[in-house]
Amino acid sequence: MRNLLKGGLRRLARVETPKRPLGTKKATVIAVSAQKGGVGKTTTSVTMATALARFHGLRVLLVDLDPQGHVTRSLQANLKPGGGKLSEVLLDDKREAEVMDVVATTGIPNLYLTPFDEKLGATEDLLSTRIGKEFVLKEALDATRTHYDVIVLDCPPNLGNLTLNGLVAADQVLIPCDPSPLALNGVAALVETISTVATRLNPELDVLGVLLTRVDGRNTTLNAAVEEEILKEYGPALLPMRIGISSSLAKAQMEGQDIFAFDPSSRGAAQYKELAAHVSQYLNG
């Protein structure tokens, strides 16, 4: 009986053929994640992705996993029409859809993104009912990742299904943290989740680093205290560069432009270039 059942299952199983034409690349997937909102996740995702595309010749896909759609808003001025709904990829019953099916091009050479999708918010809950719900995004990147060098996931500010999918699909997590006790607590909670995901679901997962963002140079006492705390808890995971408060970064986001087009000589541009150089070197081993 057992053999019969197994034979039957084998006959039922689909023949494994690639869902899409495969490329020659093998993207590193970087999840930009933090539990707290407003710490610079989207700014970091967008600016790092743009810098990797503009200055390092890498083909980069930016996936907006946050239902707020801030990635699209941040690059509005450069967005080309096209692309589709990420929610439809994640909720595809047959699990045949790929993220590459819904990608839009931008006016920035080598930079691609998944556009704002008003249904993504509901997807968070709908995913709960799926078998293997944590692996949906990872599977939908199978063919997609062979067409890009880097895939950046801008995660929502909570540890729900979308973030979980991001962490399972990722090779690396980049954790932006502003110098505040609340953000620090958020890092601790996220690191715990990352360890659980690494143990149970994605043994390849690693932490690229903790990035201090929105650092107010005038607040030296607080900055030093937060840095000391991060160094004590996470040691070398603290990245060497700092992203200061820069009004140009906020203005660029409001204008829907990347900082390298909006204000290339700003401090924010220089500091994010430093981050991209670090990441690019890290990716090259």
Ligand X SMILES: Nc1ncnc2c1ncn2[C@@H]1O[C@H](COP(=O)(O)OP(=O)(O)O)[C@@H](O)[C@H]1O
Q: Which CB sits closer to Mg ion, 67 or 100? A: 67
Neighbours of 117 (CB within 10 A): 21
Name the binder of 38 from ligand X, Mg ion, none, CB < 5-8 A by kind.
ligand X
End-to-end, the C-alpha distance of the chain in Å comes to 51
Q: Which of 70, 138, 242, 273 binds Mg ion (CB under 5 A)?
A: 70
Query: Per-residue DSSP letters for 34-59?
Result: -SSTTSSHHHHHHHHHHHHHHHH---
Cα–Cα nearest to 247, from 216, 210, 211, 219 = 216
Using the contact rule CB under 6 A, the part of the chain among 91-99, 105-113, 144-152, 239-247 near ligand X is 239-247
Determine, following the binding rule CB under 6 A, whether residue 84 of this chain makes contact with ligand X: no
Residues 6+ apart with CB under 8 A from 69: 115, 116, 117, 118, 120
Number of residues that bind Mg ion (CB under 5 A): 3
Neighbours of 226 (CB within 10 A): 20
Site size with ligand X, rule: CB under 6 A: 18
Sign of CA dihedral 85, 31, 149, 135: negative
Rounded to a whole number of angstroms, the minimum distance from the CB of residue 224 to Mg ion is 27
Q: Considering the complex, what minimum distance in angstroms separates the CB of residue 235 from ligand X?
A: 24
Write each residue from 26 to 55 as x if it is in contact with Mg ion (CB under 5 A), else as -, in one continuous string: ---------------xx-------------
Minimum CB distance to ligand X smaller for 97 or for 187: 187
Does residue 70 belong to the site contacting ligand X (CB under 6 A)? yes
Query: Phi/psi class of residue 195: alpha, beta or left (left: φ > 0; alpha: ψ in -120 to 50)?
Result: alpha
**Interacting residues with Mg ion (CB under 5 A):** 41-42, 70
Q: Where does this chain bind ligand X (CB under 6 A)?
A: 37-43, 70, 157, 213-214, 243, 245-246, 249-250, 253, 268
